[in-house]
A and B are shown apart, each in its own frame.
Chain A
Amino acid sequence: MTDQIKEQISALLDGELPQNELNLLVRRLERDPALRLAFGRYALVGEVLRAPGGALASAGFAERVSVAVAAGESAATSAAAYAPSTRRRRATPLVGAAVAAGALFAAVLLLVPEQAEQLQPARIAEPPAPAAVAADIEASGAASPTPARSQRMAAYLVAHGEYSTPIARRNVWTGVLANDPGITRVSYEFSEAR
């Protein structure tokens, strides 16, 4: 810390530092805590001379304020990150629904029909169908149209359906059912039987 820099600090405190010296000095003050301390002590001298007596800031007060300001700033930043703007808020349900529907649709596509012994008839595949229809289903080899994974998916949809829009839910359900050959066949044949 040279005398020249300290003289600049003194002039800064008095509001007499030329603009061209100000930029560099402020950057120096930012980097060098010793310079800031000198600035603080010079300010203290002035305060004591102008208004003797009374309370003075304790050592470290300015630092505490700086920490509090920084803490408030980071809290505000975090809050901003968790508080979406109006535009983002508006978009959130659609985006969420789209993401949920997309994920579910991808999961549905990955479903592989499981072996017959693992298959169990789902309630949805138990229409009060005529005996002829039931026999036809057995003959087709797709006696149990809803595999276990589809059941899990159905359970997932029931449990998490609240996060998607009705249209998205319907689309996903359609996907699940469309991938179930038994259900398709039952529906078609049932309607034909009628």
Chain B
Amino acid sequence: MPNFPPPDGSTESHDGRGDDPRPGSGLEKTDLELVKRAQRGERSAFDLLVLRYQHRVIKLVARLLRDPAEAEDVAQEAFVKAYRALGSFRGDSAFYTWLYRIAVNTARNAMASRQRRPLDYEADLGEHEQASVQSRLRHVDTPEAVALSDEIQQTVERAIQELPEDLRTAILLREVEGLSYEEIATAMDCPVGTVRSRIFRAREAIDRNLKPLLD
């Protein structure tokens, strides 16, 4: 059984706080608000939760499955399951923690199903043929995605470096360190409103570079 990453989605590159909902944090409250709306039938509220967590869930599932091609299907299934089970979400844990469990279970089921498949055509192939098929599958499934992912990565990093100091600090404290606006305001010795504005301007500057890649 693979080692599952922690539900906070943390990686080795930082302390893992990120924008992960901490108990009582604004993010958790916002998620809960969106969940409540979705529970009342506002599907657009659930769409926002999908937009917020789609990359994280896909990253998680891809790591578990070790198959980027299958990751989106499984992630989609996880989101659909989450929506159907939304009525049972009581807010005892953060929404992402709950979603994380669903995603992990869905990935586990997918792996089990893969192992149960009666006809594994790869087993009938020789080593060379198997490698060739794998190689072709990877090329068919991921080259554009990998290239785009790399390009997005580089674009964001470049855009961050080009930001004015105050904007860069604000966005990194928020996104990487996971500080609240109030904590950032204290750290940067400025009003909360200014923090909000700086973070927005930082995102806008990055987005201007990112948008052409995604359109």
Contacts and interface: CB of A to CB of B under 8 A. Distances in A.
Interface of A: 3, 6-7, 10-17, 19, 22, 26, 29-30, 36, 38-59, 61-62, 64-66, 68-70, 72-73, 76
A3 B204 CA distance: 9
Main SS of chain A's interface residues? Answer: helix
26 contacts: A12-B30, A13-B19, A14-B26, A15-B26, A15-B31, A29-B44, A40-B54, A45-B175, A45-B206, A45-B207, A46-B18, A48-B156, A49-B171, A50-B18, A53-B153, A54-B59, A54-B149, A55-B68, A56-B148, A56-B149, A56-B152, A65-B54, A68-B76, A69-B79, A69-B80, A69-B83
A68 B54 CA distance: 14
Given A29-B44, A69-B80, A50 B19 contact: yes
Main SS of chain B's interface residues? Answer: helix
B14 interface: yes
B27 A50 contact: no
Contact of A72 (B33, B42, B80): B80
Interface of B: 9-11, 13-14, 18-19, 21, 25-31, 33-34, 37, 42-48, 50-52, 54-56, 58-59, 62-63, 68, 71-72, 75-76, 79-80, 83-84, 145, 148-149, 152-153, 156, 160, 171-172, 174-176, 180-181, 196-197, 199-200, 203-204, 206-207, 210-211, 214
Contacts of B75: 57, 61
A17 to B, nearest CB: 7
B55 A57 contact: yes
B47 A66 contact: yes
B47 A62 contact: yes
Nearest to B61: A55
A194 B210 CA distance: 103
Given A55-B145, A57-B75, A65-B76, 13 more contacts: A10-B203, A14-B26, A16-B26, A26-B42, A30-B42, A40-B54, A46-B18, A49-B156, A55-B58, A55-B62, A65-B79, A70-B43, A76-B84
B176 A66 contact: no
Most buried by B among A11, A26, A48, A76: A48
B42 A40 contact: no
Nearest to A49: B175
A45 B210 contact: yes
Contacts of A40: 51, 54
A55 B71 contact: yes
Given A45-B203, A46-B19, A56 B37 contact: no
A66 B71 CA distance: 17
Given A41-B207, A50-B19, A52-B13, A69 B43 contact: yes
A46 B159 CA distance: 13
Q: What are the 9 tightest A-B residue pairs by CB atom distance, in nearest-first order? A: A15-B27, A15-B26, A30-B44, A55-B62, A15-B30, A10-B200, A47-B55, A57-B54, A7-B200
Contacts of A64: 76
B110 to A, nearest CB: 15
B176 A39 contact: no
A66 B214 CA distance: 19
A72 B84 contact: yes
Contacts of B200: 3, 6-7, 10-11
A47 B145 CA distance: 16
B64 to A, nearest CB: 11
B196 A44 contact: no
B149 A62 contact: no
